[in-house]
C-alpha cells in the first residue's frame, strides 16, 4: 500500500491570504502605522545585541513584563506565544481531548474551527442572531445542554465588527462549566483605552474557566513580529507554559515587542488616529449606503474595520482589486480595514465609482 495522507489532511489547503502587489491593502486588519518609522532605531539597537547563537528565553520574561506593565496584569497570568494563532493551537490541542466538544459561533474567526478539526475535536457552531449580535442566554443554554468543553469567540468580533458587552461575557463565564476562550484581538479599539471598559482581561485571575487571548498584530502594529499572549489563571498559565513548545517566541520578536510595548504614549496616539480613521471610513460607507441600495447593511464597529452586507460582494471585491485595492470578501459580506486618510479616501472614491456603474 502506498503512503497516503490521513483524511483530515488530504483535503486541507494551505492558508491563502490575498497575495500580490496591491497599492492599497485593507484586507488583513493590520495597523496602517509601521512602527519602524517611529521606533526603528531603538528596535535595531536592541536587536544588534542579541546573541544569535543562543536560544531565546523560553518564557519571554522581558516581553511578558512589558505586556504586564502595558495592560496592568500580573505577570504570572501571562503566556507569550508566536502570535495568538499559536496559542489557539496550543489551547485546542492541549486543553481539550480528542472528541471533546468545542463550540464556535458563526460568523466568527475561522481559525477556531480549523484547529478544532485538526485536533479531532467535535466542532459545533452556533449561529448568531440575524443582526449578527450574540444571544448570551442561548449560548449558555447550548453549552450546558451539549456538554461543551470549550467555547471560543472573538470579542469584538472579526469579521462582524460588533462587541459583546463585558456583563454578558462575565455572565457566560459564571454560568457554564466550559472553558471560555475570549479572543480580545480587537478589544484595544473598543472603549477609552487599550483593553478598556468592556474587556474581561482583568478578570482572568478570578475564574479558572477563562482564557483571554491578546495579540500585538492589530492595535500594537506588529503583525510581522508574530507576538500573541494568553492571559488566564495561574494554574492555567502553568499548564500553558508546560504544553507549549519551549522556544515558541524568538529572540528578535521578544525584543521588538518589548521595545514597542514600552512606548505607551506613541501607541495611544496611533490608536486614536486609527479609531479616527475608522470613524471616517464608517461615515463614508454609511453615506454611500444611503445613496446606493446595493449596500444593504453597514454594521456598527468597535474594531479597526467596517463590515458590510451586500449581495454584490463578489463584483465589488473584484472591481476594487482591479483598481489595486484589496479588501476581504466572505460570502455576501465585505470587510474593509481602516487605512490612513489617503487610503480611505481612495477606497471611498473607488467604491462610489463602482456602485455608480452597477
Ligand atoms: C488578527 C486576529 C488574531 C491575531 O492573530 P496573530 O496570530 O496574533 O497575528 C487573532 N484573533 C483574531 C480574531 C484576529 O482577527
As a three-state string, the secondary structure of the chain is CCCCCCHHHHCCCCCCCCCCCCCEECCCCCCCCCCHHHHHHHHHHHHHCCCCCCCCCCCCHHHHHHHHHHHCCCHHHEEEECHHHHHHHHHHHHCCCCCCEEEEEECCCCHHHHHHHHCCCEEEEEECCCCCCCCHHHHHHHHHHCCCCEEEEECCCCCCCCCCCHHHHHHHHHHCCCEEEEECCCHHHCCCCCCCCCCCHHHCCCCCCEEEEEECCCCCCCHHHCCEEEEECHHHHHHHHHHCCCCCCCHHHHHHHHHHHCCHHHHHHHHHHHHHHHHHHHHHHHHHHHHCCCCCEECCCCCCEEEEECCCHHHHHHHHHHCCEECEEECCEEEEECCCHHHHHHHHHHHHHHHHCC
Q: Of 228, 277, 247, give the one whose Cα is nearest residue 109.
A: 228
From the number of C-beta atoms within 10 Å of its C-beta (0-12, 13-18, 19+), residue 272 rates as exposed
The mean pLDDT of the chain is 96
**Cβ neighbours, 10 Å, residue 247:** 13
Residue 16 is predicted with a pLDDT of 82
Cell of 267: 501607541
Q: Between these two residues, 12 and 277, which has the higher pLDDT value?
A: 277
Tens digits of per-residue pLDDT, 238-254? 999 999 999 999 999 99
Shortest-distance atom of ligand 1 to CA 85: 7
Contacts from 10-19 at CB under 8 Å and sequence distance 24+?
18/326, 18/328
Distance CA(336)–CA(350), nearest Å, equals 13
pLDDT of residue 17: 80
Residue with cell 526603528: 40
100-129: average pLDDT: 97
Residue nearest to atom 2 of ligand 1 (CA): 185
pLDDT, tens only, 51-72: 999 999 999 999 999 999 999 9
The pLDDT assigned to 1 comes to: 85
Q: Separation of 101 CA from ligand 1 center, angstroms?
A: 22
Instruction: Give CA–CA dist 308/298, Å, rounded.
Output: 5
User: What atom in ligand 1 is closest to the CA of residue 154?
Assistant: 13
Neighbours of 153 (CB within 10 A): 22
Burial class (CB in 10 A: 0-12, 13-18, 19+), 65: middle
Kindly report the number of other CB atoms within 10 A of residue 284's CB atom: 18
Tell me how far apart the alpha carbons of residues 68 and 43 are, in angstroms, rounded to a whole number: 19
Residue 351, pLDDT score: 98
Cβ-based neighbours of 300, under 8 Å, separated by 6 or more: 161, 162
* 180-220 tens-digit pLDDT: 999 999 999 999 999 999 999 999 999 999 999 999 999 99
Q: What is the pLDDT of residues 269-309, one digit of tens each?
A: 999 999 999 999 999 999 999 999 999 999 999 999 999 99
Distance 30 CA to ligand 1 centre (A): 10
Pocket lined around ligand 1, Cβ cut-off 6 Å = 29, 83-85, 109, 154, 158, 183, 185, 215, 217-218, 223, 228
Task: Select from 215, 227, 253 the residue to mutate for testing ligand 1; criterion: most ligand atoms less than 8 Å from CB.
Answer: 215
Please, which pLDDT band fits residue 36 given cuts at 50, 70 and 90? Answer: low
Q: How far is the CA of 290 from the centre of ligand 1 (A)?
A: 32
| Ligand 1 centroid distance, CA of 154 (Å) | 9
Give me ligand 1 centre to Cα 346, in Å.
26
Amino acid at each position: 500500500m502506498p503512503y497516503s495522507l490521513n483524511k483530515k489532511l488530504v483535503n486541507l489547503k494551505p492558508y491563502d491570504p490575498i497575495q500580490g502587489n496591491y497599492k492599497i491593502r485593507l484586507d488583513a486588519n493590520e495597523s496602517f502605522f509601521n512602527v519602524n518609522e517611529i521606533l526603528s532605531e531603538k528596535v535595531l539597537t536592541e536587536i544588534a545585541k542579541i546573541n544569535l547563537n543562543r536560544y531565546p528565553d523560553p518564557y519571554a520574561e522581558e516581553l511578558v513584563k512589558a505586556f504586564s506593565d502595558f495592560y496592568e496584569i500580573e505577570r504570572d497570568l501571562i503566556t507569550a506565544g508566536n502570535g495568538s494563532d499559536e496559542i489557539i493551537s496550543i489551547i485546542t490541542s492541549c486543553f481539550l481531548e480528542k472528541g471533546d466538544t468545542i463550540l464556535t459561533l458563526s460568523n466568527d474567526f475561522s481559525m477556531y474551527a480549523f484547529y478544532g478539526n485538526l485536533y479531532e475535536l467535535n466542532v459545533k457552531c452556533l449561529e448568531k442572531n440575524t443582526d449578527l449580535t450574540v444571544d448570551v442566554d442561548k449560548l449558555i443554554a447550548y453549552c450546558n445542554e451539549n456538554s461543551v468543553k470549550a467555547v471560543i469567540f472573538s470579542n469584538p468580533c472579526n469579521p462582524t465588527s460588533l462587541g459583546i458587552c463585558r456583563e454578558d461575557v462575565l455572565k457566560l463565564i459564571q454560568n457554564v462549566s466550559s472553558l471560555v476562550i475570549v479572543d480580545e484581538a480587537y478589544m484595544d479599539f473598543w472603549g477609552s483605552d487599550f483593553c478598556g471598559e468592556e474587556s474581561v482581561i482583568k478578570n482572568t485571575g478570578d475564574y479558572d474557566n477563562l482564557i483571554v487571548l491578546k495579540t500585538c498584530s492589530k492595535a500594537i502594529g506588529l503583525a510581522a513580529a508574530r507576538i500573541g499572549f494568553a492571559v488566564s489563571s495561574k494554574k492555567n498559565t502553568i499548564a500553558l507554559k508546560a504544553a507549549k513548545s519551549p522556544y515558541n517566541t524568538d529572540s528578535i520578536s521578544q525584543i521588538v515587542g518589548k521595545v514597542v510595548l514600552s512606548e505607551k504614549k506613541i501607541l495611544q496616539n496611533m490608536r486614536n488616529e486609527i479609531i479616527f480613521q475608522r470613524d471616517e471610513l464608517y461615515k463614508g460607507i454609511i453615506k454611500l449606503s444611503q445613496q446606493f441600495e446595493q449596500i444593504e447593511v453597514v454594521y456598527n464597529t468597535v474594531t479597526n474595520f467596517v463590515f458590510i452586507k451586500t449581495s454584490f460582494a463578489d463584483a465589488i471585491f473584484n472591481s476594487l482589486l482591479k483598481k489595486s485595492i484589496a479588501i476581504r470578501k466572505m460570502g455576501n459580506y465585505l470587510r474593509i480595514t481602516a487605512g490612513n486618510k489617503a487610503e480611505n479616501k481612495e477606497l471611498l472614491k473607488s467604491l462610489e465609482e463602482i456602485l455608480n456603474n452597477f
